[in-house]
Amino acid sequence: MGQMENTSTSLVLMLVGSALMLWFHPIQAQNGLFHDYYAKSCPKVEAIIQSVVAKAVKKEARIAASLLRLHFHDCFVKGCDASLLLDDTSNFTGEKTANPNRNSARGFNVVDNIKSAVEKACPGVVSCADILAVAARDSVLISGGPSWVVPLGRRDSRGASIQGANNNIPQPNSTHQTLETKFKLKGLNVVDLVVLSAGHTIGLSRCTSFKQRLYNLTGNGKPDPTVDQGYLKQLRTLCPQTGTDDNQTTPLDPVSPTKFDTNYFKNLEVGRGLLITDEILYTTKGSETAALVKFYARHSQAFFQQFAKSIIKMGNITPLIKPRGEIRKNCRKMN
Catalytic residue among 73, 176, 200, 299: 73
CA atoms of 8 and 55, how far apart (whole Å): 39
DSSP H helices in the chain: 2-24, 45-59, 62-75, 108-121, 128-142, 162-168, 176-184, 190-197, 212-215, 229-238, 263-269, 276-283, 288-298, 300-315
Determine phi and psi for 333, rounding to 5 degrees: -145, 155
Task: Work out whether 323 is an interface residue with ligand NAG (CB under 6 A).
Answer: no
CA atoms of 302 and 317, how far apart (whole Å): 23
CA atoms of 148 and 272, how far apart (whole Å): 29
Task: Work out whether 171 is an interface residue with ligand NAG (CB under 6 A).
Answer: yes
Task: Work out whether 221 is an interface residue with ligand NAG (CB under 6 A).
Answer: yes
Task: Work out whether 181 is an interface residue with ligand NAG (CB under 6 A).
Answer: no
CA atoms of 326 and 335, how far apart (whole Å): 8
What does each C-alpha distance from 270 to 175, 199, 255, 293 come to in angstroms?
20, 18, 12, 12
Between 105 and 126, CB nearer to ligand HEM: 105
3-state secondary structure of 34: strand
Strand partners, 206: 249
- Mark residues 233-272: x for contact with ligand NAG by CB under 6 A, - for none: ------------xxx-------------------------
Minimum distance of ligand HEM from residue 174's CB (angstroms):
6
Residue of 6, 8, 18, 103 interacting with ligand NAG (CB under 6 A): 103
- Mark residues 267-286: x for contact with ligand HEM by CB under 6 A, - for none: --------x-x---------
209 makes contact, choosing from ligand NAG, ligand HEM, none, with CB < 5 to 8 Å by partner type, with ligand HEM
203 makes contact, choosing from ligand HEM, ligand NAG, none, with CB < 5 to 8 Å by partner type, with ligand HEM
For the question of residue 200 being annotated catalytic, the response is no
Task: Work out whether 316 is an interface residue with ligand HEM (CB under 6 A).
Answer: no
CA atoms of 322 and 335, how far apart (whole Å): 16
Q: Choose one: 150-158, 188-196, 213-221, 251-259; the region binding ligand NAG (CB under 6 A).
A: 213-221
Between 86 and 207, CB nearer to ligand HEM: 207
Contacts of 314 (CB under 8 A, 6+ apart): 71, 72, 75, 80, 186, 188, 192, 196
Minimum distance of ligand NAG from residue 164's CB (angstroms):
18
Q: Render 179-223 in DSSP notation, one character per residue.
A: HHHHHHTTT--HHHHHHHHGGGGS-EEEGGGTTHHHH-SSSSS--
Between 223 and 334, CB nearer to ligand HEM: 223
Task: Work out whether 157 is an interface residue with ligand HEM (CB under 6 A).
Answer: no
> How far separated are the first and last CA of the chain, in Å rounded?
62
Name residues contacting ligand HEM, limited to 231-260 (CB under 6 A). 252
Q: What angle do CA 249, 251, 257 make, to 5 degrees?
A: 140
204 makes contact, choosing from ligand NAG, ligand HEM, none, with CB < 5 to 8 Å by partner type, with ligand HEM
CA atoms of 235 and 271, how far apart (whole Å): 13
Q: Taking the mean position of all CA atoms in its chain, how far away is CA 137?
A: 10
Task: Work out whether 219 is an interface residue with ligand NAG (CB under 6 A).
Answer: yes
Between 134 and 327, CB nearer to ligand HEM: 134
Q: What angle do CA 16, 18, 21 make, to 5 degrees?
A: 110
- Mark residues 208-227: x for contact with ligand HEM by CB under 6 A, - for none: -x------------------
Name residues contacting ligand HEM, limited to 60-99 (CB under 6 A). 62, 65-66, 68-69, 72
Binding site for ligand HEM (CB under 6 A): 62, 65-66, 68-69, 72, 104, 106, 170-172, 174, 179, 196-197, 199-200, 202-206, 209, 252, 275, 277
Query: Which residues participate in catalysis according to the annotation?
Result: 73
